[in-house]
């Protein structure tokens, strides 16, 4: 029985419980991160908290790598948009005021742990809870393939502004300014940028690629900022932005996904180890979690005031419907400074956990919620539309291709050879749209999973829709929206795995294609033409027909 109390056994139980709970949530169509969170609380309840895995350091690595990958994709100019800096600032002020007032009122009524709080303490708690979790929001957006959609970019921009506010608070709370050497930091980073670009150019595609990302994020970004008294998380974000313009930044980011996901398991798992709550802690946390709906409505209201459509505002708001791990840091600092009692560390940890439990199903059903309440939500829209949310003109196009990744480009080029300007490509990544237009392709910005997109175009003139988005969930959502809008023509879709083909066909796809097997057929067809041999059946056929596999070469 002594083995049951060893660090080796507890480590095994930690990993096993995290996996099983994550897998269970996956089967229930909930984010696996929710399972990791539950596993941490179960381990804490059972007293299995003395393992030897350094969860704090693993979690820190996960956050640093996460922010570095965000920086690789970040459009710095986007932060200057009014809906980003203005929305983040206005939301923070309104949320802090609302939460502080509610806490003070509840305190006067004698609520446990709230009675006797001063206005300054109530405002501090409101400030801690005004932030949203970067980790949770990015994971949700990544899983749905919406990081580069308009609402995804708006959410990420607001989160980054909140991170900057957090840095400002930490500087004040420590009672000391960053080192004067911080003024030299921009010069240092710009000086090493050419070297970093050279390294990424010549690193190859093997194990050195993700290792180079860890080196840049940790050894250079996080460490350099730490040395001058700034937060290492901000350093990882900034240095990611510094090299994000490199042509291989996407490949570098992709190579780090597995590392980031494994590290972030530790982040969610360790939240359950914060402390053993009592009933009073739970009741206060549940009350603060209920206020999350008001915080979400403020997000929605603020974003619609900046002329974003109701759908865009709702999707961005729900991805931000959570409390932030930064609240735990504020509580810890406030406790050390004597500003708040130790109970608040447990209360905010519970509130953070409950917010994740509430946010996960909301984000899983966000498209259903908008479709159900679209008429009511659209009443909040302004009469003047945001320039990124205007009507979509298809011109003379009757064949639409969604997703301009490598496979989508191939499909577009081949179809355009046959149909000319009747082919139009749509992608939700504005940088992709810009690059493809520069290459001479007819591409516009749009989101196939957008309820309103299909109601802002003339579907009567569209003959065929081809979905070639890399995210399987996005293809499924697009199929649902296409049929919901009443389109009766053929819709084809691509998949990477065999089990996804049946899901696409069940969702209404006329035909679904495994891009790997079809790419092999396309290669055979190309080999036929390049070598002078004749294939009995060509791979590419006119749009609207289902291309059969070649019989032979």
- Whether 267 and 410 map to the same domain: the answer is no
Instruction: Report yes or no on 553 lying in a domain.
Output: no
Instruction: Report yes or no on 435 lying in a domain.
Output: yes
Instruction: Report yes or no on 402 lying in a domain.
Output: yes
- Whether 306 and 353 map to the same domain: the answer is yes
pLDDT for the residue 161 = 87
- Whether 369 and 402 map to the same domain: the answer is no
The answer to whether 384 and 377 have CB atoms below 8 angstroms apart is no
Instruction: Report yes or no on 461 lying in a domain.
Output: yes
The answer to whether 524 and 498 have CB atoms below 8 angstroms apart is no
- Characterize the bridge pairing of strands 491-495 and 511-514: parallel
Instruction: Report yes or no on 527 lying in a domain.
Output: no
Instruction: Report yes or no on 361 lying in a domain.
Output: yes
- Whether 225 and 372 map to the same domain: the answer is yes
DSSP E strands: which ranges in 381-522? 399-402, 423-427, 443-445, 464-467, 491-495, 511-514
Count each helix (H run) and each strand (E run) in the chain, helices first. Answer: 24, 6
Q: What is the pLDDT along the chain (553 residues), one digit of tens a residue?
A: 666 668 888 889 999 999 999 899 888 877 787 788 788 888 988 888 888 888 888 888 888 888 888 788 776 676 778 888 899 999 999 999 999 999 999 999 888 889 889 999 999 999 999 999 887 888 788 777 677 677 888 898 898 888 778 777 766 776 667 788 888 898 999 999 999 999 999 988 888 999 999 999 998 999 999 898 888 888 888 899 899 888 888 788 888 877 888 888 887 788 778 767 788 888 999 999 999 999 999 999 999 999 888 988 999 999 999 998 778 778 877 887 788 888 888 898 889 888 988 888 888 888 788 888 988 999 998 887 777 666 677 878 889 999 998 888 988 998 898 888 899 999 988 888 999 999 999 998 888 887 667 877 888 889 999 998 888 888 888 898 888 788 889 999 988 888 888 889 888 899 888 877 666 666 666 666 666 655 554 444 444 444 444 343 3
Phi, psi dihedral angles at 97 (to 5 degrees) = -65, -45
- Whether 402 and 368 map to the same domain: the answer is no
Instruction: Report yes or no on 99 lying in a domain.
Output: yes
- Whether 401 and 369 map to the same domain: the answer is no
Phi, psi dihedral angles at 185 (to 5 degrees) = -55, -45
Tokens of 29: 């169509």
The answer to whether 330 and 351 have CB atoms below 8 angstroms apart is no
- Whether 111 and 146 map to the same domain: the answer is yes
Domain boundary among 353, 380, 407: 380
* CA atoms within 13 A of residue 461's CA, in its CB half-sphere: 12
Sign of the dihedral through C-alpha 377, 382, 383, 385: negative
- Whether 403 and 336 map to the same domain: the answer is no
The answer to whether 67 and 233 have CB atoms below 8 angstroms apart is yes
CA dihedral angle for residue 27, residue 30, residue 32, residue 38, rounded to 10 degrees: -100
- Whether 242 and 376 map to the same domain: the answer is yes
* CA atoms within 13 A of residue 194's CA, in its CB half-sphere: 2
Instruction: Report yes or no on 250 lying in a domain.
Output: yes
pLDDT for the residue 490 = 92
* CATH for 457: 3.40.50.720
- Whether 123 and 210 map to the same domain: the answer is yes
In SS3 terms, 26-39 reads as HHCCCCHHHHHHHH
Sign of the dihedral through C-alpha 242, 246, 250, 252: negative
Domain boundary among 335, 352, 380: 380
- Whether 311 and 409 map to the same domain: the answer is no
Domain boundary among 321, 345, 380: 380
* CATH for 146: 1.20.1530.20
- The whole domain housing 482 covers 394-514
Give the integer Cα–Cα distance in Å for 398 and 418.
13
pLDDT for the residue 106 = 93
For the chain, the residue count is 553
- Whether 88 and 206 map to the same domain: the answer is yes
Spatial strand order in the sheet of 511-514: 443-445, 423-427, 399-402, 464-467, 491-495, 511-514
Give the integer Cα–Cα distance in Å for 502 and 504.
5
pLDDT for the residue 396 = 85
Cα 544 to Cα 276, 489, 505, distances in angstroms: 61, 9, 16
Q: Give the total number of structural domains in the chain.
A: 2
């Amino acid at each position: 029985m002594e083995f049951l109390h060893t660090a080796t056994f507890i480590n095994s139980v930690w990993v096993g419980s995290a996996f099983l709970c994550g897998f269970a949530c996956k089967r229930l169509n909930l984010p696996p991160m929710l399972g990791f969170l539950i596993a941490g609380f179960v381990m804490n309840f059972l007293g299995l908290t003395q393992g030897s895995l350094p969860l704090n350091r693993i979690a820190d690595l996960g956050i640093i790598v996460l922010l570095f990958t965000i920086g690789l994709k970040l459009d710095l100019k986007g932060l200057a948009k009014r809906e980003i800096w203005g929305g983040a600032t206005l939301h923070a002020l309104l949320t802090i005021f609302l939460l502080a007032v509610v806490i003070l009122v509840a305190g006067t009524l004698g609520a446990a742990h709230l009675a006797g709080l001063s206005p300054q303490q109530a405002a501090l708690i409101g400030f801690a809870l005004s932030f949203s979790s970067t980790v949770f929001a990015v994971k949700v957006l990544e899983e749905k393939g919406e990081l580069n959609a308009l609402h995804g970019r708006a959410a990420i921009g607001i989160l980054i502004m909140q991170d900057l506010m957090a840095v400002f608070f930490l500087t004040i709370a420590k009672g000391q300014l960053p080192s004067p050497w911080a003024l030299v930091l921009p010069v240092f980073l710009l000086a090493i940028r050419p070297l970093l670009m050279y390294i990424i150019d010549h690193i190859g595609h093997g194990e050195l690629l993700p290792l180079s990302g860890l080196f840049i994020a940790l050894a250079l970004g996080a460490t350099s900022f730490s040395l001058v008294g700034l937060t290492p998380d901000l350093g990882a974000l900034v240095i990611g932005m510094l090299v994000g313009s490199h042509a291989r930044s996407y490949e570098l980011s992709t190579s780090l996904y597995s590392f980031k996901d494994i590290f972030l398991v530790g982040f969610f798992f360790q939240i359950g180890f914060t402390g053993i709550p009592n009933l009073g802690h739970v009741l206060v946390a549940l009350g603060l979690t209920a206020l999350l709906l008001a915080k979400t409505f403020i997000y929605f209201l603020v974003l619609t005031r900046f002329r974003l459509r109701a759908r865009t505002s709702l999707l961005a708001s729900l991805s931000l419907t959570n409390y932030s791990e930064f609240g735990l840091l504020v509580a810890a600092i406030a406790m050390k400074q004597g500003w708040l009692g130790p109970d608040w560390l447990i209360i905010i940890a519970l509130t953070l956990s409950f917010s994740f439990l509430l946010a996960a199903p909301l984000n899983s059903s966000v498209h259903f919620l908008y479709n159900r309440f679209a008429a009511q939500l659209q009443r909040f829209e302004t009469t003047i539309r945001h320039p990124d949310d205007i009507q979509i003109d298809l011109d003379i196009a009757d064949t639409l291709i969604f997703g301009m990744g490598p496979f989508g480009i191939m499909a577009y080029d081949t179809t355009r050879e046959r149909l000319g300007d009747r082919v139009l490509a749509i992608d939700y990544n504005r940088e992709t749209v810009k690059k493809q237009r520069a290459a001479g392709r007819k591409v516009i910005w749009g989101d196939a999973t957008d309820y309103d997109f299909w109601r802002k175009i003339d579907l009567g003139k569209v003959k065929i829709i081809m979905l070639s988005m890399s995210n399987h969930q996005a293809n499924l959502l697009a199929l649902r929206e296409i049929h919901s809008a009443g389109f009766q023509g053929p819709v084809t879709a691509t998949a990477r795995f065999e089990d996804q083909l049946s899901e696409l066909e069940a969702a209404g796809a006329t035909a679904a294609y495994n891009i790997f097997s079809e790419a092999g057929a396309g290669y055979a067809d190309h080999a036929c033409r390049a070598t002078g041999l004749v294939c009995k059946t060509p791979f590419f056929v006119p749009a609207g027909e289902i291309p059969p596999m070649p019989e032979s070469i």
